[in-house]
Copies of this chain bind each other. A is one copy, B any other.
Amino acid sequence: MSEPSEHVDLVALSLLPVRCWRRVGALLHAQIPPGSILERVSRECAPDASRPAALRSRAVAALDRAAASGIVFVPWSDAAYPAALAAIADPPAGLWARGNLAALSRPAVAIVGSRAGSPYGLSVAERLAGDLAGHGIVVVSGLARGVDSAAHRGALAASGSTLAVLGSAADVIYPAEHRDLARRIEADGAVLSELVPGTPPRKPFFPLRNRVISGLCRAVLIVEAGEKSGSLITARCALEQGREVLAVPGNVLSGRNRGGHALLRDGAKIVESADDILEELSVRVPGRPDPVGLSGPEDLVLRNLPAGEPCDLDVIADRTGLPSPRLLPRLFELEMQGLVRRVGGGRFVRV
């Protein structure tokens, strides 16, 4: 009951029906206070669902339950809320996290793929995850069987950080056989969910979860996706969010790579090694030419960020004329150079 009322409002927003989330996102982006959003959206968009007061009391209960099981609520308005995720059209009003929140603010790449990965797919996922982790990239995946868990394991084996985004609450580990893996992930990375604690896994949650996986990341790498793989949803989300889509090629006879190859046909970048990914992210790879990345508009971005005035991505995009997919990586770089700091609500401020 000691939670700030804004947190309660944000949790309550996450309890609105899924059909309202884009509207909620638009109003959050417009910096409307969460309490007002809750009143407005539940009136306009979900008049038949629970009233705000009922949602608020469920939110308070959720926050209490979270505290009891070591889960932290990272609200949209918090500086710890990942800037890349804040930038998407339908960002979660908050993230429930167990682990080390510092991992949320570092450059991240998703590695996702088949739950029935072949030895080849698992081996590639594990190796690439380890190599990315070795370059300080956070590896994001969905804790599923197969490629997802191989990616988490690869990052851990390289002593890197990894984020697992669940289709259930952060305290309901699914599949149960990955409980140990989840504990190991929490040591330096985090297990994340937008669902209030106690929520069991349900089919419709997984595609929604996928937009969070891609939203956290600068790029999504597909490893072994068949024609109907759920990881193709993550790839589609990435495209909508303006993130890079990458795919590892493989055997054309097994059918295991049909989805990934279709992405390559449609313009996804082909990945053989972590260097290929780092190049896409404009991270300097020793022995390769400097990426023709986003260093050009440096002055442009800084010039349009007045010191001390937090601006959200749309404002910076308007002022610089740069689309947000190009802007975000540059802002990350400036942040890592200590020239820009992220503040709540997906906003950036010049230091």
Contacts and interface: CB of A to CB of B under 8 A. Distances in A.
A261 interface: yes
A261 B270 contact: yes
A250 interface: yes
Interface string A257-278: 1100100110001111100000
A176 interface: no
Contacts of A261: 249, 270, 272
A1 interface: no
Contact of A249 (B120, B124, B257, B269): B257
A63 to B, nearest CB: 45
A159 interface: no
Interface in A108-140: 120, 123-124, 127
A248 interface: yes
A251 B270 CA distance: 12
A270 B269 CA distance: 12
Protomer copies: 2
Contact of A253 (B124, B257, B258, B270): B124
Contacts of A264: 249, 264, 270
Interface in A229-252: 248-252
B250 A252 contact: yes
A48 to B, nearest CB: 43
A272 B247 CA distance: 15
Given A249-B261, A252-B272, 14 more contacts: A120-B253, A123-B253, A124-B253, A249-B252, A250-B250, A250-B251, A250-B252, A252-B271, A252-B273, A261-B270, A261-B272, A264-B264, A264-B270, A265-B269
